[in-house]
């Protein structure tokens, strides 16, 4: 359960930077939600690591943010 708290806290920490990067539309959210993060989001992982987050936590937080964004975009078309 502690791991989920870490991911949630990391998501909160990265949310603004993630939104800024994804607003450009140059990042594939499908890729971001999957196993391999796009190059555009690797810098965000490094930023999280510099703030003390473990790489796996940062990557999972970014994947969850991408999935949430994909879900929100899908809901807009429903």
Structural domain total, the chain: 1
How far apart, in Å, are the Cα atoms of 2 and each of 8, 11, 47, 57? 10, 14, 22, 11
Which tokens belong to 18? 């993630």
CA-based nearest residue to 62, from 18, 25, 4? 18
Parent domain of 10? 2-77
Single pTM value for the model:
0.80
Q: What is the pLDDT of residue 3?
A: 60
Q: What is the pLDDT of residues 10-31, one digit of tens each?
A: 999 999 999 998 887 777 777 7
Alpha helix (H) residue ranges in the chain: 2-22, 29-33, 39-50, 55-77
């Amino acid at each position: 359960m502690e791991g989920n708290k870490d991911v949630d806290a990391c998501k909160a920490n990265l949310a603004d930077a993630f939104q800024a990067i994804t607003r450009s539309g140059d990042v594939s959210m499908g890729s971001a939600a999957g196993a391999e993060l796009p190059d555009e989001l690797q810098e965000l992982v490094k930023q999280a690591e510099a703030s003390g987050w473990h790489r796996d936590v940062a990557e999972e937080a970014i994947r969850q943010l991408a999935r949430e964004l994909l879900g929100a975009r899908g809901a807009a078309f429903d």
